[in-house]
């Protein structure tokens, strides 16, 4: 959509709010052009299409920027209008409530670019780059260090924030620095030490900083055929041990060391257990799959049920790895 086309639909945020109170149907077609860009913020956008669970209600407002300028304009717009911001990458670690999210959802998956310095092995990639594609790309160049990541269906931004990991490696092992956008619109570079990394966490979780790009250190001197073979093996291992064919968010719970969450759930007899259309996967008990038409509420209730059953049996309260956002009503 061009600026002039979008302008035909422009209205102020307060007008939109008023319209919402009158009728949510009339809000559906509203689009707001971001000042200085040809991007539009849309209202009442279903988030189910943006999550790997394929569940979630509408975002009050949503924007999918392709350039950093559009991202900056989105953040500025939210600040000016007092809108809370939620950032989503590929939505592969999110459970969004059925009632949706108020404020502005910024989806970063279309922020794409990468630059590789073959002298130093430093790779700088935008937040929206998909991790699996990146892993294949690096392997095909014959550089080592990212084979473990091939089965993680997230973006670079989400992986940096979550400290995503597999096969005894994680983002923090290869990360040199990240560029972040603060809510005041400034860009800043943070090095790994400033990010407070540990198992599946970083200081970026719960902060209002948006990752715009990351710089990773890759290792030279590998046999390209071997790197590709290892990447393929990791992918194959995933496909044979995890239910990749059904919508999920990967592992639902953090592993309460020394135990594996999946083992505890399986030993509690919950494999295959179902609430609505949400089911504990037969192939891997730490996965909850959407077996077709599940609601976020089904998944949330199943998470609670698992936590209670495992607590009763093992006196261990499983902590979710999945980020639950929006309103959920626990069943008592
Ligand atoms: C089949 C499957 C297998 C999986 N296997 C693994 C695995 O082996 N290991 C693993 O660690 N995870 C795994 N996951 C979970 C998930 O893929 C990772 O956590 C991934 O890093 C999330 O990235 P994302 O872009 O989807 O982030 P989202 O799910 O979109 O977001 C996750 C969190 O990061 C924040 N965020 C996202 N992008 C940005 C940004 N640019 N700036 C600031 N904040 C941001 C969000 O606000 C949210 O808090 C799996 C998921 C699936 C569906």
- Tell me the best of 53, 59, 87, 125 to mutate to test the pocket of ligand 1, counting ligand atoms within 8 Å of each CB and taking the most: 87
With a pLDDT cut of 70, the percent of the chain lying above it is 90
Measured from the CB, is residue 211 less than 6 Å from ligand 1? yes
pLDDT digits (tens, 9 = 90+) for 266-312: 999 999 999 999 999 999 999 999 999 999 999 999 999 999 999 99
Distance CA 328, CA 201 (A): 23
- Write down the pTM of the prediction: 0.91
Identify the structural domains of the chain with CATH numbers, from first to last: 3-107 (3.30.43.10), 114-240 (3.30.465.10), 243-325 (3.90.78.10)
Catalytic residue among 109, 200, 202, 238: 200
pLDDT band, very low/low/confident/very high, at 329 (cuts 50, 70, 90): confident
pLDDT digits (tens, 9 = 90+) for 254-272: 999 999 999 999 999 999 9
Is the model's pLDDT at 162 over the cut of 70?
yes
Measured from the CB, is residue 169 less than 6 Å from ligand 1? no
**Runs of H (alpha helix) within 2-67:** 3-7, 13-22, 24-27
């Amino acid at each position: 959509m061009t600026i002039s086309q979008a302008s035909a639909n422009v209205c102020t945020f307060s007008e939109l709010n008023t319209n919402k109170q009158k009728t949510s149907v009339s809000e559906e077609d509203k689009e707001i052009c971001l000042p200085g860009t040809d991007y539009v913020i849309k209202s009442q956008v279903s988030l189910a299409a943006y999550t790997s669970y394929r569940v979630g209600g509408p975002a009050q407002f949503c924007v999918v920027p392709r350039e950093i300028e559009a991202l900056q304009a989105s953040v500025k717009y939210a600040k000016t209008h007092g809108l809370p911001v939620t950032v989503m990458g590929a939505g592969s670690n999110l459970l969004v409530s059925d009632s949706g999210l108020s404020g502005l959802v910024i989806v970063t998956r279309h922020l794409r670019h990468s630059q590789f310095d073959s002298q130093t092995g430093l790779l700088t990639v935008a937040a929206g780059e998909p991790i699996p594609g990146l892993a294949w790309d690096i392997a095909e160049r014959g550089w080592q260090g990212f084979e473990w990541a091939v089965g993680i269906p997230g973006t670079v931004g989400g992986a940096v924030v979550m400290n995503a990991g597999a096969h005894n490696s994680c983002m923090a092992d290869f990360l040199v620095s990240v560029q972040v956008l603060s809510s005041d619109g400034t860009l800043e570079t943070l090095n790994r030490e400033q990010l407070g990394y540990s198992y599946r966490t970083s200081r970026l979780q719960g902060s209002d900083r948006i990752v715009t790009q990351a710089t990773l250190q890759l290792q030279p001197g590998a046999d390209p055929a071997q790197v590709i073979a290892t990447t393929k093996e990791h992918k194959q291992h995933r496909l044979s041990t995890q239910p990749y064919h059904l919508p999920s968010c990967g592992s639902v719970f953090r592993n309460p060391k020394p135990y594996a969450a999946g083992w505890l759930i399986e030993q509690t007899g919950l494999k295959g257990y179902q609430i609505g259309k949400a089911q504990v996967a037969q192939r891997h008990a730490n996965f909850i799959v959407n077996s077709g038409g599940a609601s976020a509420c089904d998944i949330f209730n199943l998470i609670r049920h698992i936590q209670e059953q495992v607590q009763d049996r093992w006196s261990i309260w499983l902590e979710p790895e999945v980020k639950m956002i929006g309103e959920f009503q626990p069943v008592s």
